Amino acid sequence: MENSEILKSVKVKAQKWLGSEFDAETRASVKHMLENDEKELIESFYKDLEFGTGGLRGIMGAGTNRMNIYTVGLATQGLCNYIKKEFSHVKELKVAVAHDCRNNSRLFAETTAEIFSANGFKAYLFESLRPTPELSFAIRHLGCQTGVVITASHNPKEYNGFKAYWDDGGQIIEPHDTNIIKEVEKIRSLSEVKFKGGKKPIILGPEIDEIYTDKIKALSVNPEIIARQSHLKIVYTPIHGTGVKLVPMVLKKMGFKNIFHVPEQDINDGNFPTVKSPNPEESAAMAMALAKAAEVDADLVMATDPDADRVGIAVKDPTGKISLLNGNQTATLLIYYLVSQWAAKGKLKGQEYICKTIVTTDLLNVIADDFKVQHFDVLTGFKYIADILKKHEGKMKFIGGGEESYGYLAGEFVRDKDAVMSCALIAETTAWAKDQGKSLFDILVEIYLKYGFYKESLVNVVRKGKEGAEEIQQMMGGYRSNPPKSINGSKVAILHDYEERVSFDLLKGTRTAISLPKSNVLQFLLEDGTKISVRPSGTEPKIKFYFSVNAKLDKKENYAKVEKLLEQRIEGIKADMGLN
């Protein structure tokens, strides 16, 4: 379709947004675009904001391709319609709604709760911003059939989102996700959305915070160690987000007394004024916290993202300098601590397990095997970890799990990644290390000495627009039809194709079925122990390459030498695959 045809089409769509069913501010914004800004008009109306498998996420503003009370309303009504069908046997349907610190989040949350209420649901709405994992907890605690959190996680300030949950507290997965999408698509007019007419939502306040944080405190394995190390120096920042109240609350409940804040970032602000991006995966987002750590000689630095489901950390390295750890390293420390201490306390009975995503370090599975703990690998996305918890509830006991993108979980009362919980347990792990006269970094090196030095890296190849999407598709097709026989001098032994759900042993010429759901992911396992995962992003115009290499670390003094060798191997792989 040529630009003139697109413009003609979007003008027709935009004219409808000048009707009386839209508020004055929306009408004024659309009128301005029609008269003055054709480029923004096209961006705002050339398509409908899609209700994807996780809900909505997009730039805020007027238009069908934007996050606003009308697109949120359509999504909410579609979700209501589906829940009413699926739970027709339930006498009183219930929903919990939460939101983060972003601009318009409160408005979207109130709109969502009111629509549920108008559809006959008993709607619970948090009094103010709350972490995503607390919403997951509240769904189960209150016996809700669904839940919604308004958040765009760590996206830029222009974005917001609508994330839907099922009655188990986990994000919605197949077949419900695609079925909800169909329900949303059935709605032809805003007149079908019940914006008003129900009872006032029930407001949730500090009482849920207390119950939730008490549950987290109960996960503590070594409270006596925390008592001895209660003055551990911890710097924490919520990066303007929802962790601001509950992370310090739970740390104090656990027994930590020396918590340092970054005052400028304790201010809830959807514009995130002190950072370029509120993403703790990026070192720049933690710059102010690192500066505070140097000032107070901190043992641990923690930063949570706006909806407090991810956490980035920094610890003292052997030189005494505070160094950032990546998501794989943090997951390794957390799982090693939990599994080893469960073993030390005699809590391992043979029915315990951990869970991780297929792109997360295999070191977690090596640790689990050593302690005879079962482990499960799932597709990328914490909703799949939640699904494992659901399947094994009452039969096995979940110790913990995580993903390389800075999300972790322990216990079974939350069914999504939980940075509030993770901060509490990471602080306890640090106290345990300090009780032995060590830092977390020292413990990490000891893990490498025992199990092997695992190093991971991630490359994002961005390809924007229609041509970019086609190029990404061609890259995946090329890898499938003509997989490399060797990479960086090591033979490709096994190819896992999650789209075809088949694992090919390229050396033996055999194939076996993959039991996981279908997903557009490829993995190459090399003879030297390297694992390379390739997958297009589901939310951004990019293709992701995950690299994991490992080698033996024979003594602590050789840490830097082995790390350099692994870095060189990763660079060699990137060069061989044309990714430098």
- By annotation, the residues acting in catalysis are 153
Amino acid at 292: K
3-state secondary structure 346-359: CCCCCCEEEEEECC
Backbone CA torsion sign across 4, 9, 15, 21: negative
Query: Hey, what's the torsion of the CAs at 24, 29, 30, 31, to 10 degrees?
Result: 80
Question: Of all helices (H) and strands (E), which one includes residue 114?
Answer: helix 105-118
For 382, phi then psi, to 5°, come to: -70, -15
Biggest alpha carbon–alpha carbon distance for the chain: 73
CB atoms within 10 A of CB 416: 26
List the Cα angle 410/311/209 in 5-degree steps: 60
Nearby residues of 207 by Cβ (< 8 Å), 6 or more positions away: none
How far is 4 from 287, CA to CA, in rounded Å?
47
Nearby residues of 286 by Cβ (< 8 Å), 6 or more positions away: 237, 280, 301, 303, 312, 314, 324
Backbone CA torsion sign across 110, 115, 118, 124: negative
Collapse the DSSP code of 544 into the 3-class scheme (helix H, G, I; strand E, B; otherwise coil) and give the result. Answer: strand
How far is 190 from 70, CA to CA, in rounded Å?
7
For residue 67, the 8-state DSSP code is: B
Question: Of all helices (H) and strands (E), which one includes residue 430?
Answer: helix 419-435
Residue 124's DSSP bridge partners are 96, 202
Token pair belonging to 529 = 């122990």
Number of H helices and E strands in the chain, helices first, is 18, 23
- Closest to 248 in 3D by CA, of 299, 315, 326, 302: 302
- Closest to 300 in 3D by CA, of 424, 406, 154: 424
Q: Are 256 and 427 in contact (CB under 8 A)?
A: yes
Total residues found in the chain within this entry: 580
How far is 13 from 24, CA to CA, in rounded Å?
17
How far is 121 from 110, CA to CA, in rounded Å?
14
